[in-house]
Amino acid sequence: CLSMPSILIFVFPSTDTEIPSGTAISTGWLSPSRRFSPQSSCLQIRGYFHMMKDMKKVLTIAGSDSGGGAGIQADIKTITLLGSYGMSVITALTAQNTVGIEAVLGVPESFVGKQIDAVLKDIGADAVKVGMLANAKILKIVAGKIRKYKIDKVIVDPVMVAKSGHVLLSRQAHGALKSHLLPLTFVLTPNIPEASALCGIEIRNLKDLEKAAKAIYHLGPKNVLIKGGHLEDGKALDLLYDGKEFFEYTAERIETKNTHGTGCSYSAAISTFIAQGEPVFKAIQKAKQFITNAIRFSLDIGKGHGPVNPYAPIAREMAKYHAIEELKEAINILKQKPIGFLIPEVQSNLGFALPYATSPQDIAAIPGRIVAFRDSIATVSHPEFGASRHIAQVILTVMKYDKQLRAAMNIRFDENFIKRCKLLKFRVRSFDRQYEPEKVKEREGSSLKWGIETIVKEEGLVPDIIFDKGDVGKEPMIRVIGRDPMDVVHKILKAGGF
């Protein structure tokens, strides 16, 4: 999932395939919230194929981004990943990358009109998203076609200026936008600079947002969503006005330069959820959650502003079944070896994180932990997500510094094991709990985070083996870190002499 595969093959299980109850399996057309259970997998698969026949259709009218991060390319990715059928009308060709736009080639307005006719007279659309229109002539053509085909779910992202500063809508077209397109708009999604350009109000705080939203509402759109990402208040606040009430949508502000395509992907997500029948408030709520995750796991590619990653939320859901299966396989291998002597008094656990994990709920581990049984080990349950706090804390801390390292297991401290790890050229590092700050000791679950971060900051990388010799009430412990459960198991067995 982390390598962003260009081809995805989806294999559906037969009715006798073991699938952990509650495991979410999703594809480009499966909702991430839908869940399989062993008893109903066959019925649900039939339901999904029925859903495909009634797949909602979303048309995006926008410019092409040769770098793939924004515009038509971002829209189609988002629409598809959220389970609808994406169609496109290209209004302009841009030669651009993460640094900026190098050239723009306009599409003749007559050809823009022909693209719209070709799509709508045959396929139709449950929602139309409008992005970059370039000039007044194209804008008027688009507005005319929306009237002709009586499209009522029109979501307009009034793209005026690129992140690089390149003008994407001529000033002469601002008047046409207000008079021709806004009266046909179901949801308008300007950012703060665009909202200010539309209403002439300088926006510095929430009160200004409310004034601007009301002023823009009187220009004709049924719903006005002003995206407040440009406010310097530490929050990513968006404000919706429907002509009667204000609704606020807040999320953490994620510090990253890789935000290319945020507006396009956000408005495409809103359009998709509206096409699928969600009311405006709910559609925006779901789209806000989606884009927040896409920003959180944005891609650090190119030399400028990297793109957001609409694939990230879906990748995490797709990985759940495989994470459980990989843990099962690793545990079964360990059970065949006499490794009971490596289990500490507090017992062990083996955890495996989803790509882009952010909480213990994103990490699968063994409920009841791994216990010593005769000369080997035993478990009381199959792996589950959210089954461990301690090993989850280790993995989450490690992933802050290296997203490829998603698995870990704690074992009993053993001097001979450490010596063999060093002979095998494993990277072995330790932390001393005696130097742990009192504030850290007082916070439950903070010790491991402090210890690992201390090591990584000193070494500049995450080691294979992290150990400590304990403290009052704290058992000495070794943590084995790896890319996946099998990587961890191989390190343990190799250092254990098996």
351 is catalytic: no
Q: How far apart are CA 490 and CA 498, in angstroms?
A: 9
Q: What is the mean pLDDT of residues 296-312?
A: 93
Q: Is the pTM of this model over 0.95?
A: no
Q: How far apart are CA 324 and CA 317, in angstroms?
A: 12
Is pLDDT at 229 greater than 90 in this prediction? Answer: no
Question: 55-310, superfamily in CATH?
Answer: Ribokinase (3.40.1190.20)
**Confidence band for 41, pLDDT divided at 50, 70 and 90:** very low
| CATH number of the 319-495 domain | 3.40.225.10
Q: What is the mean pLDDT of residues 236-260?
A: 93
Lowest mean pLDDT among 37-51, 288-302, 389-403, 418-432: 37-51
For the chain, give the percent of residues with pLDDT over 90: 74
259 is catalytic: yes
17-31, 188-202, 230-244: which is most confident: 188-202
Reported as a single tens digit per residue, the pLDDT across 339-394 is 999 999 999 999 999 988 989 999 999 999 999 999 999 999 999 999 999 999 99
- Please name every residue paired with 384 in a beta bridge, in sequence order, or none if there are none: 365
Q: How far apart are CA 22 and CA 402, in angstroms?
A: 29
**Confidence band for 32, pLDDT divided at 50, 70 and 90:** very low
Is pLDDT at 291 greater than 90 in this prediction? Answer: yes
Identify the active-site residue in 23, 94, 259, 292: 259
Buried b / exposed e along 18-57 (16+ C-beta atoms within 10 A): ebbeebbbbbbbbebeebbeeeebeebbeebeeeeeeebb
Identify the active-site residue in 262, 272, 292, 379: 262
304 is catalytic: no
Mean confidence (pLDDT) of the chain: 87
Q: How far apart are CA 171 and CA 108, in angstroms?
A: 19
pLDDT of residue 434: 81
Reported as a single tens digit per residue, the pLDDT across 76-133 is 999 999 999 999 999 999 999 999 999 999 999 999 999 999 999 999 999 999 999 9
Phi-psi region of 443 (alpha: psi -120 to 50; beta: other; left: phi over 0): beta
Lowest mean pLDDT among 14-23, 189-198, 426-435: 14-23
Contacts of 408 (CB under 8 A, 6+ apart): 350, 351, 391, 394, 395, 398, 479, 480, 481, 482, 488
Q: Where are the domains of the chain?
A: 55-310, 319-495
How many residues does this entry show for the chain?
498
Lowest mean pLDDT among 175-179, 331-335, 367-371, 376-380: 175-179
262 is catalytic: yes
Q: What is the mean pLDDT of residues 407-411?
A: 98
Is pLDDT at 285 greater than 50 in this prediction? Answer: yes
227 is catalytic: yes
Identify the active-site residue in 68, 69, 77, 264: 264
Lowest mean pLDDT among 183-187, 233-237, 353-357: 233-237
pLDDT of residue 24: 37
Is pLDDT at 22 greater than 80 in this prediction? Answer: no
pLDDT of residue 318: 83
pLDDT of residue 34: 37
Reported as a single tens digit per residue, the pLDDT across 123-172 is 999 999 999 998 999 999 999 999 999 999 999 999 886 655 566 676 77
Number of other residues whose CB lies within 10 A of the CB of residue 448: 23
- Please name every residue paired with 248 in a beta bridge, in sequence order, or none if there are none: 239
Residue pair 411/490 in contact by the 8 Å Cβ criterion? no
For the chain, give the percent of residues with pLDDT over 70: 85
The DSSP annotation for 271-313 comes to: HHHHHTT--HHHHHHHHHHHHHHHHHT----SSS-PBP-TTHH
Is pLDDT at 263 greater than 70 in this prediction? Answer: yes
Identify the active-site residue in 263, 306, 451, 482: 263
Q: What is the mean pLDDT of residues 487-493?
A: 98
pLDDT of residue 315: 81
pLDDT of residue 212: 97
Identify the active-site residue in 56, 57, 129, 227: 227
Residue pair 139/109 in contact by the 8 Å Cβ criterion? no
Residue pair 302/99 in contact by the 8 Å Cβ criterion? yes
